[in-house]
Amino acid sequence: MLTRKQHELLIYINNHIANQGTSPSFDEMKDALDLKSKSGIHRLIMGLEERGFIRRLPHRARALEVVRMPETAAVGTNPRKPARNRKFTPNIIQGDFTHALHGTPVTTTHESVELPLYGKIAAGTPIEALRNPDRIEVPGAMLGRGEHYALEVEGDSMIDAGILDGDTVVIQRCETAENGTIVVALIEDTEVTLKRLRRKGASVALEPANKKYETRIFGPDQVQIQGKVVGLMRQFS
């Protein structure tokens, strides 16, 4: 899953390379997505690169290569390969964590608690959550007071904290958290990510646990805490 803007940018880059033979400039991408600054494009490219959809070609200025296309590509295309002169119709699942944060009840059993499972959250880059949750049973001893929900992790930016791609994290709803806590962070009311929280003065840093990825700095009004990680489950094949 990608955010709408990530999906739009990936399709634009893919079509531009197919039609022009070169990747678009930052200004061209900014205009195509109707963004106000190139910093937004840089953030989207970082996200696509972290997720393995594109890669930057070494020793070539702003040269990008599309590695794979999302599974939401139009019928008739191979979602694992970049398109060649084909048009794609976005089919993005949009949503947010509103349902997870407003008193969703939990059903308890003697040994487990049933929680809403709100799709995937990116440990490498923000993505959108599924609007309609599944349900998952978690050990009751894993939970504290208050409301909880679960998310499936996608990405590898928290691997040094022991959170791997495919893990399920249990989240306790909260609006504040101490420095160093791994949190679910809503960025600018549109994107959600799983990162370690660091506050420095008036700035909010969202810190990965993988040296491949950069710490991102935001203003205090750009980030809203939607919960903190209190448990993790992993399935072994």
Measured between alpha carbons, how far is 134 from 24 in angstroms, rounded to an integer? 39
Instruction: Output DSSP code: residue 201.
Output: T
- State the first-to-last Cα distance of the chain, in angstroms, to the nearest integer: 23
Please give the distance of CA 43 from its chain centroid, rounded to a whole number: 12
**Catalytic pick from 157, 200, 203, 228?**
157
Select from 204, 189, 148, 194 the least CA-distant residue to 172.
148
Q: Is 36 a catalytic residue?
A: no
Which residue is listed with tokens 């909010």? 204
**Catalytic pick from 195, 200, 211, 228?**
195
For residue 30, how many C-alpha atoms fall within 13 Å in the half-sphere facing its CB?
A: 12
Q: Is 87 a catalytic residue?
A: no
133 in Cβ contact with 152 (< 8 Å): no
Measured between alpha carbons, how far is 77 from 81 in angstroms, rounded to an integer? 8
Q: Which residues are catalytic?
A: 157, 195
